[in-house]
Chains A and B, each alone.
Chain A
Amino acid sequence: MNDRVIAKLVDVSKYYGSGEGRVTALSSINLTLLRGDCVVLVGLSGSGKSTLLHLLGCIDKQDEGQIIIDGIDTSLKSLEQLAFLRLEKIGFVFQSFNLIPVLTAYENIELPLLFKGYKKNSIKERVDDVLEEFGLHERKHHYPRQMSGGQQQRVAIARALVTQPSLILADEPTANLDSQTGAGILDLLIDLNMKKNITIVLSSHDSVVLDKIKTVVHIRDGRIVHTNISTC
């Protein structure tokens, strides 16, 4: 397999329900993502964008087909192995930030590192670097409830980035933010993609996103109806 390929979906299908009530969420998806790609998944609600992100992030399992992340066939892995794969290679950014409310910004960011078995000093160094990079140093001891939406989303991105993943998946990261803050977050993700060569896949309805990211995968009724491969 080409070293540049970070994720490959081959004839992937996903269904919900069974019998006559079975709904096809994704149907025979074929998609290859390269290192450094910055891709936006677009489509109407219920088109299958989130399902595709979940399958790429190994937090859900396909019913048919094969998903390969960084050379690893995920269909052959156990739940614990998939958890380890996510910890090692994938970062998540959620629409509602999903920070742990009892942890400060610093502690939220360090959380994945603690489970990766990093030494205390190394964790501190990394977290401080990321806080500095994202302009969150002043907020490091603040709890999520003490921060604005934009700040919370920056912390969430910092948490996704701190493990140095190969792939960051962001599910409508700007949907809960005002347009100005949303644009800032988007710029931050694009900047990460450009400077660190991290593959970023995000889903969005936001026209601003479509203006800034040129690699677009259009999904309709669980099928990819149009893609244009280019560098963003």
Chain B
Amino acid sequence: MNSLKLAGIAVRNLLRNSRRTLITVLVSSAGFAALAIVAGYMDFTFFGLQEMTICRGFTSSGGTGHIQIFRKEALQKEEHYPLEYGIADSEKLQQAVKLNKSVIATMPRIEFNGLISNGEKSISFLGTGVDPKKETELIHYWNALEKLSSRKLMDDSVYKKLETTSSNGVLLGEGMAKAMNAHVGSSLMLMGTTVDGAVNAVDVTVAGVVRSSMKSIDRYYLVTSLETAQSLMQTGKVSKIVVVLDKTSNTDIVRPLVFAKINASGNNPEFSVIAWDQLAEYYHSIRDAYRIIFSFIGIIVVVIVFLSTTNTMLMATMERVREIGTMKAIGISNLWISFLFLYEGFFIGLMSICGGMALKIIFSSIINNSGFKMPPPPGMSSSYLLKIFFAADFLPWISLLILFSTTCSGLLTLFKIRKLSIVNSLTHV
């Protein structure tokens, strides 16, 4: 049997009751569009979260950058004293890393903690020592992200203030500033442990009050210059080097090259080179949650599409009982007749994909131009503009899902067709 011929008959059968076919296609198209829009929103969210993780981060350590370099032991062993496994000659390492063309910045950082006091009250802090000039590269990277046109641009002036504050400037989280009753220009004292285990203190001046990406860390958030942190800890080491690339998609290509560059050949590499996604627990937990939500929506939509198409198919079967009986009588097997219905389901699926794509583009465009602001996600401090991405990676899968669902609905007719008695079908009115 010529399959094209059978396909042609299927199309004519669909056109025979065009209104019913149209309604079925509209339901399936709406299903496709719903899934594609959710996928577009997910894609936007994942991309936004990814770049937020890289540029701002969701911990007190700030943005992860694309790659981070640690001494190998820092990830494997517990330190007996601060920065026991810190990087001693960070400049040399940075020079080596910068040789890669995709690297646009390298930023040494120190992670430290201790107490901050205003003379009357002391609270604990989680601090990061940074090179203010280099940190602005991450802000410039964020501000240059074209794909995330709806993002709030970051201001690098706080780092400039940190740089220009003459005596040991610090940036405090809003929560911490409030708790310490501090404002720009206030004098405070940082207390911490040196690398020798002694207690040390330095006087600092508040250079700025910032809002971190997570409300929960705002009360402990403190950023100071590398020099201040090193002077508190009495060391020249840094905890890690953060590497910023020209684009996130280059991470997997550059990471092994950087690893090879900074580690002498042999079985015992000195440094570990970690990609941003291995450091981003929050990103992964959000992504997993979205995937579960998407799967549920997907199942519901597919069931609706399946039921709608099945209804159409069964109605078509009932309407064409006499025809089916005739075909069976002249010797056409149940299998071929079922194929006819499978084709009809398949074509409904194809039409639904086209219709769904059109609906998706129309609604995405309306949403993207509406300026609709989403409330801050749980635990985060700022709202954001809703955008629906094209979601090219998801669309083939959604198409397959819809096609599978509509085609499978034709399968139910197979049982119906098999059960139909030829004699009764021929006299069916």
Chain A interfacial positions (CB closer than 8 Å to B): 54, 57, 59-60, 79-80, 83-88, 90-92, 94, 98, 100-103, 111-112, 114-115, 117, 120, 159-160
Contacts and interface: CB of A to CB of B under 8 A. Distances in A.
Contacts of A101: 16, 323
Given A101-B323, A114-B2, A114-B5, A83 B13 contact: no
Of residues B9, B16, B329, B336, which shows the largest number of chain A Cβ atoms within 10 Å of its Cβ?
A: B329
Contacts of B327: 100, 111
19 contacts: A83-B332, A83-B333, A86-B330, A87-B332, A92-B329, A98-B323, A100-B327, A101-B16, A102-B9, A111-B332, A112-B331, A112-B332, A114-B1, A114-B2, A114-B5, A115-B331, A115-B332, A117-B1, A159-B330
A20 to B, nearest CB: 23
A80 B1 contact: no
Contacts of A88: 331
A116 B12 CA distance: 22
A59 B1 contact: no
Contacts of B422: 54, 59-60
Contacts of A84: 331, 333
A59 B328 contact: yes
B332 A59 contact: no
Q: B-side binding surface: helix, strand, loop or mixed? A: helix
Interface in B298-335: 322-323, 325-335
A60 B335 CA distance: 19
A86 B329 contact: yes
Contacts of B1: 114-115, 117
Q: A-side binding surface: helix, strand, loop or mixed? A: helix
B412 interface: no
B297 interface: no
Interface of B: 1-2, 5, 9, 12-13, 16, 322-323, 325-336, 421-423, 426
A103 B333 contact: no
A115 to B, nearest CB: 5
Contacts of B331: 83-88, 90, 112, 115
Of residues A79, A115, A160, which shows the largest number of chain B Cβ atoms within 10 Å of its Cβ?
A: A115
B16 A112 contact: no
Nearest to B16: A102
Contacts of B334: 79-80, 83
B290 to A, nearest CB: 46
Of residues B1, B326, B330, B336, which shows the largest number of chain A Cβ atoms within 10 Å of its Cβ?
A: B330
Given A87-B331, A94-B426, A98-B325, 18 more contacts: A59-B422, A80-B333, A83-B331, A86-B329, A86-B331, A90-B331, A98-B323, A98-B326, A98-B426, A100-B9, A101-B323, A102-B16, A103-B9, A103-B12, A111-B330, A112-B330, A115-B1, A117-B1
A98 B322 contact: yes
B329 A59 contact: yes
A39 B325 CA distance: 25
A92 B16 contact: no
A101 B324 CA distance: 12
A147 to B, nearest CB: 16
A59 B323 contact: no
Nearest to A103: B9
A83 B328 contact: yes
Contacts of B330: 86-87, 91-92, 111-112, 159-160
A140 B331 CA distance: 23
- Pairs A-B, 5 closest by C-beta atoms: A87-B331, A86-B331, A102-B12, A59-B422, A98-B326
B253 to A, nearest CB: 53
A61 to B, nearest CB: 10
Contact of B326 (A54, A91, A94, A117): A94
B292 to A, nearest CB: 45
B2 A54 contact: no
A98 B322 CA distance: 7
B427 to A, nearest CB: 9
A64 B94 CA distance: 94
A25 to B, nearest CB: 11
A111 B332 CA distance: 9
A159 B331 CA distance: 12
B239 to A, nearest CB: 74
